């Protein structure tokens, strides 16, 4: 999921006549008054820029044409150059004693770009053209066999529902035919992005991304490793159990009882979440998970109804309803007359109330959860809209992703009863089935959320070169996920490009952090709501106390370092995976029992 904020989507500058730093002399020592004036100018200009650019990016995503790609790329090109100029001009004030807010704004300004360009107009134009082209290639991607062409949505349906290994392999390999053409452009994008990052004082683009976490880059990388160490034993236990069930379903010729799992057997195009194969692994005599998809279909739910449910959760906590413009301007379904980017995303077009989501909604449990997630971005965006423009972002990008997911943890049977989708919640019985069903998404995702940027960081640093893009990709997928491709892959392939966030230049560690943080958030919000039972049974739906606690943290935006925002919500400044272990504790014990006698690991 992607959210549109200033650090992700940039706009046009030429029409605004901006010349960063022009009003300030380089010959005299800078003053605090000059720094204040500089920041005021930068914030006003950037607000105007990002509003224009957001509209261009929206059109490029919802009307994919050569013209919309060119216009979006041109606007981004001009703005990247301008923001780089602002960042370079900000360096003039290094060493000047500024108050906390001004100092933090200077740091935010230097890190306002996810993709900095070299200080060369021709290279800036080349970089933005490459990025727009790769994203457009992804959005238009189809796998054609004769006269039949299937897009990602259609191929994903095969991946989620088929139990035919040949059909799964065909869909899996078919989608990956779209990405080899990106390989050369991606290599050049790495070169240019690194050059831009070094021009701003960072070792490479990966180091710049990691610097945006109120920590030194190496310290942040170590923090990620620490969190993974907390949760990896749980993932290994789930992997061991699922592999055994797949072996029982397909036999040794398709899935061995040892070693990695075949990537196309896990119900998802990227094997990032495994919930679609829950029927294969569902335990007998351990209760039943509620089939939310069946409930939605039985209620004759349409796309807008799905979004209304999500909005209703937030309003039950005391948040205001979404503006009318949200319902008028959002994309809820795939148009029949044009190509669009269906990848779910949430947008704030004016940094105030022009909030939107862009989805091609399917009436499924997965999409129901996704909608809660995307609306979490929108309500976060509106909560911090009174902050200065440079602070209109989440405490760190994992926070933005975690908010909606924390809300989705409250989609319990009791909640479904309260909104009229379920007649009555199941009484008694085992808790293992619903916990396993959730773990097939939440726990299964953890190593995938980690490895995307582990791969990119090593690509940006030069540890993984262009000659080994695909080999290194599968090296990490086996190391962290314990999966392998269903067919042999080579350097003629470019499988990283078959995942949206790679060609679209969207950092991915945020999603790993979100999986950790959402359970921390949930535990604290449940405490605020006065809930005293098992954590996995808690729903904060209707709790104004929990809503107040959440809303106060959201309103902070990025005005304070993320540990302070985390402490405001949870009482602790440290990210901690124990909440996820608490939530799934009954399941972990059960998995260990099921895995007795198995050779786990890969």
Catalytic residues: 343-344, 373-374, 377, 401, 501, 511
Which of 132-159 are b and which e, b meaning 16 or more Cβ less than 10 Å from the residue's Cβ?
Answer: bbbbbbbbebbbeeeeeebbbeebbebb
Please give the C-alpha separations between residue 436 and each of 31, 93, 412, 428, in angstroms, as whole numbers.
60, 54, 14, 17
β 261-262/345-348 pair status: unpaired
Sequence-ordered list of residues with C-beta below 8 angstroms from that of 388, at least 6 positions apart, any chain = 43, 101, 105, 559
| Distance separating alpha carbons of residues 63 and 342, to the nearest angstrom | 11
Q: Which residue has the tokens 């044009």?
A: 338
Is residue 30 within 8 A of residue 90, CB to CB? The reply is no
Query: Cα angle at 576 between 575 and 582, to 5 degrees?
Result: 150
Is residue 260 within 8 A of residue 602, CB to CB? The reply is yes
| Token digits of residue 524 | 């604290």
β 142-145/148-151 pair status: antiparallel
Please give the C-alpha separations between residue 45 and each of 7, 196, 469, in angstroms, as whole numbers.
15, 21, 39
Q: How many CA atoms lie within 13 A of 378 on its CB side?
A: 31
Sign of CA dihedral 85, 89, 90, 95: positive
Please give the C-alpha separations between residue 214 and each of 97, 491, 559, 564, in angstroms, as whole numbers.
19, 37, 12, 11
| Burial bucket for residue 356 (CB in 10 Å: 0-12, 13-18, 19+) | buried
Query: Cα angle at 124 between 120 and 130, to 5 degrees?
Result: 145
Cβ atoms < 10 Å from Cβ of 564: 14
Q: How many CA atoms lie within 13 A of 275 on its CB side?
A: 20
Q: Residue 137: enclosing H or E segment and its boundaries?
A: helix 121-139
| Distance separating alpha carbons of residues 568 and 193, to the nearest angstrom | 36
Is residue 517 within 8 A of residue 402, CB to CB? The reply is yes
Please spell the DSSP secondary structure of 459-486, one letter per residue: HHHTSS-GGGHHHHHHHHIIIII-EE-S
Report residue 557: phi and psi, to 5°.
55, -135
Cβ atoms < 10 Å from Cβ of 186: 22
């Amino acid at each position: 999921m992607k959210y549109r904020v200033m650090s992700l989507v940039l706009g046009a500058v030429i029409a605004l006549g901006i010349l960063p730093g022009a009003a300030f002399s380089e010959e005299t020592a800078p003053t605090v008054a000059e720094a204040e004036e500089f920041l005021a100018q930068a914030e006003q200009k950037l607000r105007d820029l990002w509003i224009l650019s957001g509209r261009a990016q929206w059109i490029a995503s919802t009307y994919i044409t050569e013209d919309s790609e060119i216009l979006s790329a041109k606007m981004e090109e001009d703005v990247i150059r301008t923001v780089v100029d602002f960042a370079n001009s900000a360096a003039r004030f290094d060493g000047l004693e500024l108050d906390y807010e001004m100092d933090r704004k200077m740091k935010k300004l230097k890190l306002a770009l996810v993709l900095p360009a070299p200080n060369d107009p021709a290279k800036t134009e080349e970089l933005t053209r490459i990025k727009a082209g790769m994203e457009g290639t992804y959005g238009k991607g189809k796998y054609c066999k004769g006269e039949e062409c299937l897009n990602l949505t259609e191929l994903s349906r095969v991946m989620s529902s088929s139990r035919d290994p040949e059909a799964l392999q065909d869909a899996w390999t078919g989608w990956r035919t779209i990405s080899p053409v990106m390989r050369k452009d991606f290599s050049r994008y790495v070169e240019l992005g690194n050059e831009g990052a070094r021009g701003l004082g960072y070792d490479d683009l990966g180091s710049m991304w990691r610097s945006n976490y109120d920590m030194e880059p190496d310290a942040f990388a170590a923090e990620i490793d620490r969190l993974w160490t907390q949760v990896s034993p749980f993932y290994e236990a789930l992997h061991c159990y699922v592999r055994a069930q797949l072996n029982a379903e397909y036999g040794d010729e398709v899935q061995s009882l040892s070693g990695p799992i075949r990537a196309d057997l896990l119900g998802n195009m990227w094997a990032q979440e495994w919930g679609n194969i829950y029927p294969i692994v569902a335990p007998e005599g351990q209760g039943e998970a509620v089939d939310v998809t069946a409930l939605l279909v039985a209620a004759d739910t349409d796309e807008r109804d799905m979004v209304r449910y999500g909005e209703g959760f937030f309003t039950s906590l005391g948040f205001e309803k979404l503006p009318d413009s949200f319902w008028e301007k959002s994309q809820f379904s795939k148009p029949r007359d044009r190509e669009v980017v269906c990848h779910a995303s949430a947008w704030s077009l004016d940094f105030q109330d022009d909030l939107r989501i862009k989805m091609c909604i399917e009436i499924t449990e997965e999409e129901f959860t996704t909608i809660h997630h995307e609306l979490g971005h929108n309500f976060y965006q509106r909560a911090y809209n009174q902050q200065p423009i440079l602070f209109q972002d989440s405490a760190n990008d994992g926070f933005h992703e975690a908010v909606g997911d924390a809300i989705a943890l409250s989609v319990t049977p009791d909640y479904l009863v309260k909104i009229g989708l379920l007649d009555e919640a199941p009484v008694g019985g085992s808790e293992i089935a619903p916990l396993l069903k959730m773990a097939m998404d939440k726990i299964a995702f953890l190593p995938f959320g980690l490895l995307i940027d582990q791969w990119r960081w090593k690509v940006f640093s030069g540890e993984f070169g262009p000659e080994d893009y695909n080999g290194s990709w599968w090296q990490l997928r086996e190391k962290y996920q314990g999966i392998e491709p269903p067919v042999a892959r080579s350097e003629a392939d470019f499988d990283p490009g078959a995942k949206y966030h790679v060609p679209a230049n969207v950092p991915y560690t945020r999603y790993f952090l979100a999986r950790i943080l959402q359970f921390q958030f949930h535990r604290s919000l449940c405490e605020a709501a006065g809930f005293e039972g098992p954590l996995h049974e808690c729903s904060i739906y209707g709790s104004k106390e929990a809503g107040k606690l959440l809303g106060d943290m959201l309103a902070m935006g990025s005005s304070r370092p993320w540990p302070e925002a985390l402490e405001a919500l949870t009482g602790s400044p440290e990210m901690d995976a124990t909440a996820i272990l608490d939530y799934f504790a009954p399941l972990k014990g059960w998995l260990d029992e099921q895995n007795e006698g198995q050779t786990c690991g890969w």
